Amino acid sequence: MKPLTNLRMSWRAIRSHKLRSTLTTLGVVIGVAAVITFVTLGASLQAGIIGDISPDDRQNIYGWAAPEESSNQGPLAGAQPVFTQADVDGLSEQPGVRAAYGYTSIPTQSVGFGGERIPRQDAVVATGVEYVDEDEIADGRRFEYGQREAVLNPAMANAFERNVTVGDTITVTVVGGFAVNATVVGITTDSEARSPFEGFGPGPRVYLPLDPYYTQLVAEAQETPRFPAIVVEAESIEGVDRAKESTRSYLETDSDAQEQAEAANLTYELQTSTELLGQLQAVLDQLQAFVVGIAALSLLVGSIGIANIMLVSVTERTREIGIMKAVGAQRRDILTLFVTEAVIVGIIGSILGTLLGILGGWAGAQYIDIPLTYPVEWFAIAIAVGILVGVGAGLYPAWRGARTDPIDALRYE
């Protein structure tokens, strides 16, 4: 049988059972689309996170003190307020260290501007001047330590009906109802998280100097205010490991934190953003594998669907198979006809599925607001798998059909 004739005959068989063929194809479409959507989302999510770490972020060390059982649970897990201003001042004197400063988020009820109050629990961060890099300021300047000043990111600045601009005054109301004012002195270039402490996604943020805001608002009652986290900036990316070592030894020997850490049996967690990212990536990879696994399962279900329909189709066409064999069709001819049918379904299904998956990935990325990255090699894999599913699922039914004895088949009613 000529390949073109074979193709034409198989296509005709598919077309003569439109509804059945459509439903079968749908099984493959959904499977392939699910795989493509999820790998696209996974790839976009990962690319988004990796893209967030700017080079000068890679020389940062993020530190906190936590009970041993909290280790490896992500940034700030179990962090206790142990670091003093004296500790960060001492750390910034260490060799290979460019700057060191404290970090804490301030539990907030709302952020107010121009009579408008936006409830925000996680938006306000108190930290050092260097936390926001100079070149990350789009408008204005960084805040000054000890001043009642604030830097906002665009997401926060644009959250109010009238956009906040440099020179405006905002009101931060902390949990407990106490409100303080801050003059906005700078707006950042983007709304991305500026460190792993903030999490990895973008969001509205207010950056305030630890002094006076932390000391006044939260640690007012304490004799010496203590921060739950520190950021140490190494002088270079290459020097980050050395800086980490000297930070650890300083904390363990000369710091105010050590006394409390010993008393509460805390260990210092010191991690570079690369290390933190690695942990996060491992989690993401697992999640991705899990979701793609589920998607692959739906592809398997699709292939069982093809096999099932093909078996029905072979049985239903027993008499036709008998006729073809009676007039000279070899087993190979019958086999090819049915396998071709399954492969056509597989190809059409995986092409449509890929298109749908691309669309799904786009919609998903749009919805959770991450930049879109298409893992093109996966598309090729998905299409190949779709076709393989067709061959695999079609082979057994086709073989059954090919083996049919013509005389039995002709007698089949």
Partner 1 sequence: MDSTGGSAAVSLETVTKTYMVGEPVHALDGVDLEIPRGSYVAVMGPSGSGKSTLMNVIGCLDTPTKGTVYLDGEEVTTMSDRERTRIRGEEVGFVFQTFNLMPRLTAVENVALPLVFRGIPVGERRERATELLERVGLGDRLDHVPNELSGGQRQRVAIARALVNDPALILADEPTGNLDTETGENIMSLFEELHAEGNTVVMVTHERPVAEHAERVVHLLDGRIERIEELDAVGAEVES
Residues at the interface with partner 1 (CB under 8 A): 1-2, 5, 9, 12, 16, 319-320, 322-331, 333, 406-407, 410
CB of 42 to partner 1, least distance (A): 45
> Which is nearer to partner 1, 381 or 410 (by Cβ)?
410
At closest approach, how far in Å is the CB of 405 from partner 1? 9
CA atoms of 400 and 413, how far apart (whole Å) = 18
Q: Tokens representing 296?
A: 């692959």
Minimum CB separation of residue 12 from partner 1 in Å reads 7
Residues whose CB is less than 8 angstroms from the CB of residue 162 and which lie 6 or more positions away in sequence, other chains included: 113, 114
Check residue 139 and report its DSSP letter: E
Cα–Cα distances (Å) from 410 to 263, 303, 314, 339, in that order, read 90, 30, 14, 22
- 276 or 402: whose CB is closer to partner 1? 402
Distance from C-alpha of 227 to C-alpha of 208, rounded to nearest angstrom: 14
**Amino acid identity of 11?**
W
Shortest separation between residue 312's beta carbon and partner 1, angstroms: 17
CB of 8 to partner 1, least distance (A): 8
**How near is the Cβ of 329 to partner 1 at its closest, in Å?**
5
The residue (of 2 and 18) whose beta carbon lies closer to partner 1 is: 2
The nearer residue to partner 1, 264 or 326, going by C-beta atoms, is 326
Could you give the CA distance from residue 166 to residue 134 in angstroms, rounded to a whole number? 16
CA distance 227 to 80: 8
Instruction: Please report, for residues 2, 31, 393, 396, the alpha-carbon distance to residue 339 in angstroms, rounded to integers and kept in the order given.
Output: 15, 20, 9, 9
Query: Nearer to partner 1 by C-beta: 1 or 358?
Result: 1
Question: In this structure, what DSSP letter does residue 66 have?
Answer: E
Nearer to partner 1, 262 or 405 (CB): 405
Q: Which is nearer to partner 1, 203 or 406 (CB)?
A: 406
Least distance in angstroms from the C-beta of 309 to partner 1: 18
- Nearest alpha-carbon partner for 360 in 45, 34, 47: 34
